[in-house]
Chains A and B, each alone.
Chain A
Amino acid sequence: MKKIIKYVLYDIVRNKIVVAYTLFLLLLSVGLFNLGSSPEKGLLSLLNLVLLTVPLISIVFATTHFYNSYEFMELLVSQPIKRSKIFMSEYLGVTLSLSAALVIGMGIPVMLFAPGATGLYLVLTGVFITFIFVALAFLASVLTRDKAKGIGIALLLWFYFALIYDGIVLFILYSFADYPLEYATLTMTALNPVDLGRIMVLLNLDVSALMGYTGALYKSIFGSMWGIVSAFGVMLLWVTIPLITSRNIFQKRDL
């Protein structure tokens, strides 16, 4: 498997998008830390931008990469290798290169300007989000052979998680404002990896005091070690479920 990952990485590094992505993140992070009055504010702005751009870039890049690699995969399936191995190598190749871009482009400035647990959570969330959205992108790609359709599905998924979902949650919260919704909100958060990541980082910043009762509940849950472990556990589920589903589909279809 290592051999194949090597060739996937080789291919990705050569098309320079990942390098551009690293520079973009670097510019964004350094810029935001220099603009804000405190590192804390810088982290907050960075969080909001990262939660919007990282999923988008991950999902679009991974989908186009998957379709562009069809020839490579066709060449490999006639060789004595398991299909799941080919698939996992593609996945790890994409996620590792995007995560490396994230750690270099965002992790280094964060550690320089705002060292501490919050920054670490931010980078870790970014890495998890990358793994999740690449898995979703691969799921969209194995569902259809048509490249345009695949990218369409991928973009819809991004729209849903980054924008539409929050709208739905807000609508529910407003409509049922008279009822105690703390636990319902908690469940709804877990159903969207972007929100989960956002809350995990926010609670480590002082702004969580502004979030009222729900914020207090979150604080009591995510503030503990257990809460954080289980939040990352949910994130891990968000990686494995789409990944395993798409791998199974990939094994059972024609190329």
Chain B
Amino acid sequence: MIAIENLSKTYGKLAVLDNLSVRFEGGRVVSIIGPNGAGKTTMSKCILGIVLPDSGDIKFKGESILKKHAYRSQIGYMPQIGKYPENMKIRQVIEMVRDIRKDATVIDEELIGLYGLQNMYDKRMGSLSGGTKQKVSAALAFMFDPQVLILDEPTAGLDPISAEILKCKILKEKKKGKLILITSHIMSEVEEVADEVMCLMDGSVKFHDTITEIKQQANEERLSRAIAKIMHEED
């Protein structure tokens, strides 16, 4: 569904993405892992058009997305740290985004209900805790029934129960044939929800395989060990 072709991005002298090429298909949960600063967030931001690549191309359903905007109605994004206008209330943020995406036919309010956000509708975004902001981000990402979901460390600030709710939601959406990209550092979580693991290192793909393949390759039962082994071997 998404094809990244020879994508490069530098910040000053630092090459964050270095000739990155990768394909993602629908109906899969892909976990993007890699050390800090490997370019995980930059890659997702490039897909969203927040960061503009220096060279290369990103194709969504076969069409380049560079300098386009309409494709974003097919993408739900949950940022690592949700930044919202401090003065706006939860209700206003949700209403505004809904106002912008008026064309959306399906409105999925499941997460709003499960997280009990209605009870907090009149709180200002500035007064919310990090976890609650994450819940708002998650609710917004899933709200418009997008084809692609990009979740940047989705469970990092969530309590265990909320994280569990999110994982169930991810698996549910996967069954509908959606592509879900998750960046995460928590291996147990990756093992739970993901079908494939893509490892980024220094801005290019180190490996990209299904979880069973990785385990076989390394001859290990646990994913975290398998990945550690592969990374050590290749060094």
Q: Which residues does A use to contact B, with CB under 8 Å?
A: 3-4, 7, 11, 14-15, 69-72, 74-83, 252-255
Contacts and interface: CB of A to CB of B under 8 A. Distances in A.
A254 B87 CA distance: 24
Interface residues of B, number: 27
B77 A78 contact: yes
B114 interface: no
B72 interface: yes
B69 interface: yes
Interface in B19-54: 45, 48-52
A45 to B, nearest CB: 37
Contacts of B99: 3
B186 interface: no
Given A74-B50, A253-B52, A79 B101 contact: yes
B231 interface: no
Nearest to A254: B51
A3 B45 CA distance: 25
Contacts of A7: 92, 96
Contact of B69 (A14, A69, A72, A81): A81
Interface in B67-113: 69-73, 75, 77, 79, 83-88, 92-93, 96-97, 99-101
Interface of B: 45, 48-52, 69-73, 75, 77, 79, 83-88, 92-93, 96-97, 99-101
B72 A80 contact: yes
20 contacts: A3-B100, A7-B96, A11-B87, A14-B87, A70-B83, A72-B84, A74-B50, A74-B83, A77-B49, A77-B50, A78-B75, A78-B79, A80-B70, A80-B71, A80-B72, A81-B69, A81-B72, A82-B69, A83-B49, A254-B52
Contacts of A15: 87
A60 B61 CA distance: 45
Label chain A's interface by main secondary structure.
helix
A71 B73 contact: no
B33 to A, nearest CB: 22
Closest 9 CB pairs of A and B: A80-B72, A80-B73, A71-B83, A254-B51, A72-B85, A78-B77, A78-B48, A82-B69, A79-B100
Contacts of A76: 100
Contacts of A3: 96, 99-100
Contacts of B72: 78-81
Contacts of A254: 45, 50-52
B79 to A, nearest CB: 8
Contact of B85 (A69, A83, A253): A69
A254 B52 CA distance: 6
Nearest to B9: A254
Nearest to B11: A254
Contacts of A80: 69-73, 100-101
B83 A75 contact: yes
A253 B9 CA distance: 12
Contacts of B70: 80
B127 to A, nearest CB: 15
A6 to B, nearest CB: 9
B198 to A, nearest CB: 21
Contact of A252 (B48, B52, B85): B52
Given A69-B85, A72-B85, A80-B70, A255 B100 contact: no
